Structure 1
Amino acid sequence: MIANNSYIKIFGTMGLSIGLMVILFLSSEQEVHRNNAFIRRYPPHPITKLYDLDVIHNSYYIAGFDRDLLYLGNRSAPWHLLQVNMRTRDTLPIRLTPSGNGLRYRSIHTSVLPPYFFVMDGTMPFILRGRLGEWKAYAWMEGAAFFDRAVPVDSHLMFIRTISSKTQKSTLGIIKKTTGFQVTLDTTLLEAQIDGIFDVDGTMVLSKETSKLGYVYYYRNQFMTMNLEMKGLHRHRTIDTVETAQISLAEPNLKGDVSMKSLPLFINKATCMSRNLLLIVSDRLGKNESEEMLDEATIVDAYDYLKGSYEYSFYIYDIKKHKVREFAVHEGYLVALLDTQISVYETREPYFDGSILTNNLNIKDYLLASSGRRSKTRTTE
């Protein structure tokens, strides 16, 4: 009986401790999503919902566009594309065919950049290229460089992220194809704070209209833009105030591999570029923002990276509690993926036509103005 009472006390104490930890975790999560240092502005209706379309599977990702056509790649079926006519809502499955037999691959990603499509696997490594409408992929690059991410810039240029053999850290680079291949890496672009791998993780983006490359860090309030040769670098800050990545790394395992010990604090999530805008998904609430909105919608912040200014924010509403996992802007459309659904919006002027708003503050001045102070400087570099 005494033993039973002891067990009851032990399990009761454990239950109380677990309950306390859960309460602390929930309260910390609420604190994490709140940052009173900035104030967003929400103009009326920068985007207008046109329709939702169910594509059945949640393994689709945005591969690219060609006029009114959206192309979706599929992580579960890497040799398939889904063509979606955004005007008529018609869909067409497409089978991609590699030239030659016996192609080995591990992790394929497809990108559409008219008039071509690219099939890429940086772990093997190879890049195939084919013409839209013909759907047969031919060798474009094989063995020239390993990479973990790649963005086609034009028919002869690829923006990549890889691991530098010199620094053993993540590095941005360019693969240029002329008579042969030229691989150029710049180890100064990604600025390490902790390990140079996890802490510099982020999203690679391209604006075809302005011929600019972009890189947005996941875990800090920073992004950078540069030209197609990775020159003319500009470093910018978002309206959030978290400057240092808040991540915790575990000890290396027997193979020397390192992983995250706990979930990191995401500052910038999904990202896209369009004309002079860089759009970033954030679930960080600013001053006077309702916490209930995070249960209903995804917040998107718009920055004019040519001026270095925060412009405005808007909502993309959830579908059946599912949030935006990826989105893109193309010729008057904003397309968002939410679970198995595609949400298609119409973008409205003047918010997406390059003129945007007048009397903008740059990001540094905006943060100071939000906290009731004034700044004498006008630079965001």
Structure 2
Amino acid sequence: MKAITSKTLIRLAILGLLGIACMVTLFLLSENEMHRNNAFIRRYPHHPISKTYDLDLKYNSYYIAGHANDLLYLGNTTAPLHLLEVNLITKDTNHIRIKLDEPDLPFRSIRIGILAPYFFVMDGSVPCIFRGSITDWKAHLWMKDHAYFTRALPIDPNTLYIKTISSKTNEAVLGIIEKQEGTFNVTLNPNILERQLDGMFDVDGTMLVSGDNSQLGYVYFYRNQFMVMNPDLELLRRAETIDTVQVAKIQLSQRNAHGEIKMKAPPLQINKGAVLYQDLVMVQSDRLGKYEDKAMLDQAAIIDVYNWNKQTYQFSFYLYTIGKKKVKAFTVCGDRLVAIIEDELSVFRLKPTHFKKPLRAQNMANGYERSPE
């Protein structure tokens, strides 16, 4: 065997360095595509929100379950029947333990939803839904075995907005579960989610319910589109965000022996969390527009605000992070914006110059308030 000469070693080293350089270049180009789109320019008004305080939650496993007036409720993924109640005015906290009348079901993915004076405990893999009163936090089995679902949000004491899998097409579909006179009706609307590739990954997104429960929403993760519906799941608006990606950029594997399809590479995510607030849709995006500094992605989440009724882009604002902690979720409680930033809770005021007062605040300002029916 011939000895490797120094010239050969130099050539091999050069080839290796070129290969590494190519890989780094491709990675940087990929990262740039993931985070930048020079086709749009955002408008940032002067401080449309202002922070009031941060609260240490101690754990990063909390999610937003709902709110009732000035009380925010946080569910916990690692303690499924535990709730943390936060008084947004006094900052006082209260730990709540939910009791189920049938606690031995084979639960796998419990989620809690608050719709005062009720709360719901939901697991679409069983499938079952419990309902109880927030006065005693005891829940009774409300529905079992009528419909499987991947997500459910209560919209009135007897109705839930769900996402499920169609038995006819094996594709994701939005629907309504409604209890009437002791029986359950499950209504699916196959026309809301629009298939592009597989009808599952390509239509994935965030389900929304407005604060007064008068509208439902859905924001796609991987394309520049969102929809707003009425509580009967009839389409009111289909609108686009300021991003220009209209077709989901995802790579899928071939179906395996179990019939499963998986993503082959991280997808290009256009939209993240979102909130439906009166006639506004607030959408979190990590995509930088023209002239925006990439360093901002380490300092804040970008929230784009749209008027769904007028189908217009209004403005954007920064939701600043805490150190290296990232925004996990956010919601609107009255005239406050509340965000979970890993293990911290941040509370902000919405400025009325940019956000209308909620109906309750308007009524109180006018000297009256609607009583519950």
Matches within 5 A, 1:166-177: 166-177=168-179
**Which of the numbers 141, 163, 169 marks the counterpart of 1:139?**
141
1:234 counterpart residue number: 237
Q: CA separation in 2, counterparts of 1:106 and 1:292?
A: 39
Say whether the 8 Å CA contact 1:274–1:330 is kept in structure 2.
no
1:316 counterpart residue number: 319
Partner letter of residue 23 of structure 1? T
Q: CA separation in 1, counterparts of 2:41 and 2:114?
A: 37
Deviates more, 1:254-263 or 1:189-198: 254-263
Seen in structure 2, the aligned counterparts of structure 1 residues 37 and 354 have a Cα distance that, compared at 3 Å, is farther
Provide Cα deviations, 1:234-257, integer angstroms capped at 9, x if missing partner.
Answer: 210111111000000012222121
Say whether the 8 Å CA contact 2:222–2:247 is kept in structure 1.
yes
Matches within 5 A, 1:1-381: 2=3, 13=15, 16-179=18-181, 180-209=183-212, 211-353=214-356
Q: Percent identity?
A: 50
Partner letter of residue 150 of structure 1? A
Q: Give the CA deviation at 1:275.
A: 1.2
DSSP 3-state at the match of 1:2: coil
Q: CA separation in 2, counterparts of 1:194 and 1:152?
A: 30
Q: CA separation in 2, counterparts of 1:257 and 1:151?
A: 27
Partner letter of residue 343 of structure 2? T
Provide Cα deviations, 1:344-363, integer angstroms capped at 9, x if missing partner.
Answer: 101111222169xxxxxxxx
Provide Cα deviations, 1:141-198, integer angstroms capped at 9, x if missing partner.
Answer: 1010000011110101100010101111100000010120000011111100000000
Seen in structure 2, the aligned counterparts of structure 1 residues 97 and 42 have a Cα distance that, compared at 3 Å, is same
Q: CA separation in 2, counterparts of 1:334 and 1:97?
A: 30
Deviates more, 1:169-178 or 1:343-352: 343-352
Q: CA separation in 2, counterparts of 1:188 and 1:197?
A: 14
2:363 counterpart residue number: none
Q: CA separation in 1, counterparts of 2:213 and 2:144?
A: 30
Partner letter of residue 312 of structure 2? S
Deviates more, 1:318-327 or 1:12-21: 12-21
Say whether the 8 Å CA contact 2:339–2:347 is kept in structure 1.
yes
DSSP 3-state at the match of 1:92: strand
DSSP 3-state at the match of 1:293: helix
Say whether the 8 Å CA contact 2:42–2:289 is kept in structure 1.
yes
Partner letter of residue 279 of structure 1? M
Q: CA separation in 2, counterparts of 1:96 and 1:16?
A: 60
DSSP 3-state at the match of 1:191: coil
1:361 counterpart residue number: none
User: For structure 2, which runs of at least 5 residues remain unmatched after alignment?
Assistant: 359-373
Q: Give the CA deviation at 1:9.
A: 7.2
Q: Give the CA deviation at 1:129.
A: 0.6
Say whether the 8 Å CA contact 1:69–1:85 is kept in structure 2.
yes
Provide Cα deviations, 1:72-96, integer angstroms capped at 9, x if missing partner.
Answer: 0000000100011111111111101
DSSP 3-state at the match of 2:327: coil
When the two chains are superposed, the root-mean-square deviation of aligned CA atoms in Å is 1.9
Q: CA separation in 1, counterparts of 2:10 and 2:114?
A: 62
Q: CA separation in 2, counterparts of 1:354 and 1:38?
A: 29
Q: CA separation in 2, counterparts of 1:25 and 1:343?
A: 34
Say whether the 8 Å CA contact 1:276–1:354 is kept in structure 2.
no
TM-score, length-scaled by structure 1 = 0.89
Q: CA separation in 2, counterparts of 1:156 and 1:279?
A: 27
Seen in structure 2, the aligned counterparts of structure 1 residues 125 and 3 have a Cα distance that, compared at 3 Å, is farther
Q: CA separation in 2, counterparts of 1:227 and 1:162?
A: 18
Q: CA separation in 2, counterparts of 1:128 and 1:210?
A: 20
Say whether the 8 Å CA contact 1:210–1:275 is kept in structure 2.
no
TM-score, length-scaled by structure 2 = 0.91
Partner letter of residue 169 of structure 1? E
Q: CA separation in 2, counterparts of 1:351 and 1:212?
A: 21
Say whether the 8 Å CA contact 2:335–2:357 is kept in structure 1.
no
Provide Cα deviations, 1:8-42, integer angstroms capped at 9, x if missing partner.
Answer: 97687556524431332123212332222211111
Seen in structure 2, the aligned counterparts of structure 1 residues 139 and 15 have a Cα distance that, compared at 3 Å, is farther
Q: CA separation in 2, counterparts of 1:212 and 1:279?
A: 14
Q: CA separation in 1, counterparts of 2:171 and 2:297?
A: 35
Say whether the 8 Å CA contact 2:213–2:231 is kept in structure 1.
no
Partner letter of residue 36 of structure 1? N
User: For structure 1, which runs of at least 5 residues remain unmatched after alignment?
Assistant: 356-381
DSSP 3-state at the match of 2:245: coil
Q: Give the CA deviation at 1:48.
A: 0.4
Partner letter of residue 51 of structure 1? Y
